[in-house]
Chains A and B, each alone.
Chain A
Amino acid sequence: MTSKTLAVYRKEIIDALRDGRSLFAIFVFPFILYPAMMGFMSWIQNKNTEDARALSLRIGMVGEAQIPGLADSLRAVRGVEAISLPAAPVRLEGANVDAVLEVPDGIAARVAAGDSAKVQLVYKESENRSSQAAERLEPVLDQVRRALTVDWARSLGANAQAPPAFTVEKRDVSSKDEMGRFFAALLIPYLLVFLVAAGSMHMAVDATTGEKERSTLETILATAATRGELVLGKTMAVLTASLTGALTGITGLFLTFNVIAPLIPGAERQSMQFVVGPDKAVLLLLTMIPAAIFISATLVAIGCFARGMREGQAYASYFYMATIFLGLGSFGQQSPPPSRFFIPVLNTALLQREILTDTVNSLHALTAVGTSCALAAIMLVVAVRLFSNESVLFRT
């Protein structure tokens, strides 16, 4: 690395540090965005729950008399008005009800005979009131199941008096720490990719296409610095911005989950110990660097190619969206095939997931890092070539 490259690097960093938009995106945005998002989501969730509780719902009953106590149980549900219907309506709207509980005729005889029987709750998941009705009737459905089981037992001569109070339920025993690790493994690889691309996009275009648009390009092209030194210095500055963006972004996320969430009313449930040990943090950063160089060099190449800021921002946005989709590909891939580790950006996200879940496969690691390094080198060469091509630099 030459002193000229360092001079370009230093200049671009000073330039970026004095650009309000860059500073805001890297240093302020993460610390406002995540807490604001969490606060907003909690507020929305709480509001939805309150609104749902306040709803008065109408439930239609068909054949309810066949199961003793069913009508009373339905009427006992808070906020529910249960009305008896002579037959199942063709459309819920036609009967002016939000859901209908249908008990088929002759159910007692069928149960006694050991035949299967079906009690149906008819509702529409697509409609808020109807889906709320289904949720509220869940305990009543349990009661129906138990009552039918008792009827069946009695038909076989058992001395069953009342439905036993058995329940089958799911109980999540994950600690906040375990939930934190799970979400860290799911979110951090994707977020790192997203934050690196977001942190470098503006600066890459500003440092390259911006030179054309602000008519400063010729001044540096006529200096003793080679095109390679200029591009390398700019890419290093973009890389610094992208990695800084990633670090502040992850710090913002950490503070949101670990510090701010417990303080927001209604968001306490979402707080978790979003902790990544220092050894893993270092590994994440190291594995991110080749991918970040690839992303930075590609954005610099895009900036060299574009005629103006608007065109540069448009191309960079397409690339940014592509990286986000590739990052999203890491979601849900528990055991990805080795070929996935050749796909840029996705390979890094998958490798980081392996790091966070202690399942690193050395072949995967080698493939991901090797591919990212090779692509980073290729994109640097492409960026230098574009910056050396006068028909690209001066095209109008």
Chain B
Amino acid sequence: MIQVSELSKTFHDRKKGDIPAVRGVSFTARPGQVFGLLGRNGAGKTTTLRMLATILVPTSGTATVAGFDIVQKPAEVRRRIGYLSGDTKLYDRLTGKELLQYFGALAGMTKGAIAARMTELTEPFGLADLLDVRIGRMSTGMKQRVSIARVVFHDPEVLIFDEPTAGLDVIGARNVLRLIQDLKGKGRTVIFSTHIMTEAERICDEIGIIEEGRLLTDGSLESVRSRSATRSLEDVFVDVVGATAAAEERR
């Protein structure tokens, strides 16, 4: 489970001064569900997810991930999460096997556990022909399979996906979404950020719409839809975000 409480993050820039990126965000993501964090580019999605992954430290507020506070127990949190961002890459000079061994070791797995997990994941992730190939020589699709295997290699309780389909073709994006649904089926807590509404409609149980660092609305897909006169999530998103943008413009 992820419980976010009044989470805020302000960056400081010498020229621009304080730049609030996330302002008092609160929501809950439950096991066996996918929570979608929706927002435009620069809305605060990545900063929120980076704080949950303990890559960034919040300015105020906190969150618990798998029962551990992200500020007080960041190491315990990291032990229990899998993090994938659309921007992150892999090490080109390592083979698929070496990469998975590396991340398994960083997760604290023993050599035996790493070998067993490798065998376990080879078939479902189609890794057989990738394990001895250097990542730099793999196609985009092959890299993506290894990348996904990396995230779930240590079997984390909580999965954080930051725009994981960014830059992928239709088949690649579909594979990622299928993985997320599989993880949900296994009772994992999944938080997923995107600005593609059709993706969110397909896999999210609950959503939160974030704009200028503030969570404007959250709840189940149905409840969010019911608050708007329209039925499509895209229309809801435009309604919610557009109202804020218009108010901002008036100010």
Interface residues of A (CB under 8 A from B): 3-4, 6-8, 10-11, 14-15, 18-19, 214-216, 218-226, 390-391, 394
Which B184-227 residues have C-beta < 8 A from chain A? none
Whether the pair A219, B88 counts as a contact (CB closer than 8 A) is yes
Q: A7-B102, A8-B106, A11-B98 are in contact. List 4 more A-B contacts (CB 8 A).
A: A6-B105, A7-B101, A7-B105, A218-B83
Of B25-33, B49-57, B119-127, B243-251, the one contacting chain A is: B49-57
With A214-B89, A215-B89 as given contacts, are A222 and B98 in contact (CB-CB < 8 Å)?
Answer: no
Collect the chain A residues with CB atoms within 8 Å of residue B154's CB: 224
Collect the chain B residues with CB atoms within 8 Å of residue A221's CB: 53-55
Whether the pair B94, A222 counts as a contact (CB closer than 8 A) is no
Whether the pair B83, A4 counts as a contact (CB closer than 8 A) is no
With A4-B108, A18-B93 as given contacts, are A219 and B83 in contact (CB-CB < 8 Å)?
Answer: yes
Q: Residue-by-residue, is B3-40 near A (CB-CB < 8 Å gives 1, otherwise 0)?
A: 00000000110000000000000000000000000000
Which of A4, A6, A15, A390 sits near B91, CB closer than 8 Å? Answer: A15
With A14-B94, A15-B94, A216-B90 as given contacts, are A224 and B134 in contact (CB-CB < 8 Å)?
Answer: no
Whether the pair A224, B78 counts as a contact (CB closer than 8 A) is yes
Collect the chain B residues with CB atoms within 8 Å of residue A391's CB: 11-12
With A4-B105, A4-B108 as given contacts, are A390 and B57 in contact (CB-CB < 8 Å)?
Answer: yes
Collect the chain B residues with CB atoms within 8 Å of residue A219's CB: 83, 88, 90, 103, 150
Distance in angstroms between the alpha carbons of A18 and B98 in the assembled complex = 13
Whether the pair A224, B87 counts as a contact (CB closer than 8 A) is no
Q: Residue-by-residue, is B100-119 near A (CB-CB < 8 Å gives 1, otherwise 0)?
A: 01110111100000000000
Whether the pair B106, A390 counts as a contact (CB closer than 8 A) is no
Whether the pair B54, A222 counts as a contact (CB closer than 8 A) is yes
With A7-B102, A14-B93, A219-B150 as given contacts, are A224 and B108 in contact (CB-CB < 8 Å)?
Answer: yes
Whether the pair A11, B102 counts as a contact (CB closer than 8 A) is yes
**Closest residue to B9 on the A side, CB-wise?**
A390
**Closest residue to B54 on the A side, CB-wise?**
A222
Collect the chain A residues with CB atoms within 8 Å of residue B145's CB: none
Distance in angstroms between the alpha carbons of A391 and B81 in the assembled complex = 23
Interface centre among A6, A218, A394 (most CB of B within 10 A): A218
Interface centre among A7, A15, A19, A216 (most CB of B within 10 A): A7
Collect the chain B residues with CB atoms within 8 Å of residue A224's CB: 75, 78-79, 106-108, 154
Collect the chain A residues with CB atoms within 8 Å of residue B175's CB: none
**Closest residue to A219 on the B side, CB-wise?**
B88
With A3-B108, A216-B89, A218-B83 as given contacts, are A14 and B98 in contact (CB-CB < 8 Å)?
Answer: yes
Distance in angstroms between the alpha carbons of A86 and B62 in the assembled complex = 100
5 nearest interchain CB pairs?
A7-B105, A222-B83, A18-B93, A223-B106, A224-B79
Distance in angstroms between the alpha carbons of A170 and B158 in the assembled complex = 82
Distance in angstroms between the alpha carbons of A14 and B135 in the assembled complex = 13
With A8-B106, A14-B93, A15-B94 as given contacts, are A222 and B53 in contact (CB-CB < 8 Å)?
Answer: yes
Collect the chain A residues with CB atoms within 8 Å of residue B108's CB: 3-4, 224
Which of A15, A19, A214, A222 sits near B55, CB closer than 8 Å? Answer: A222
Collect the chain B residues with CB atoms within 8 Å of residue A10's CB: 102
Distance in angstroms between the alpha carbons of A221 and B88 in the assembled complex = 12
Whether the pair A218, B105 counts as a contact (CB closer than 8 A) is no
Distance in angstroms between the alpha carbons of A128 and B113 in the assembled complex = 75
Collect the chain B residues with CB atoms within 8 Å of residue A14's CB: 93-94, 98
Collect the chain B residues with CB atoms within 8 Å of residue A226's CB: 75
Collect the chain A residues with CB atoms within 8 Å of residue B78's CB: 222-225
Shortest Cβ distance from B118 into chain A, in angstroms? 15
With A222-B54, A390-B57 as given contacts, are A3 and B105 in contact (CB-CB < 8 Å)?
Answer: yes
Distance in angstroms between the alpha carbons of A212 and B97 in the assembled complex = 23
Q: List 30 A-B contacts (CB under 8 A).
A: A6-B105, A7-B105, A7-B106, A11-B102, A14-B94, A14-B98, A15-B91, A15-B94, A18-B93, A18-B94, A19-B93, A214-B89, A214-B91, A215-B87, A215-B88, A216-B90, A218-B85, A219-B83, A219-B90, A221-B54, A222-B55, A222-B160, A223-B78, A223-B106, A224-B75, A224-B154, A390-B55, A390-B57, A391-B12, A394-B56
Whether the pair B93, A4 counts as a contact (CB closer than 8 A) is no
**Closest residue to A2 on the B side, CB-wise?**
B108
Shortest Cβ distance from A241 into chain B, in angstroms? 14
Shortest Cβ distance from A208 into chain B, in angstroms? 14
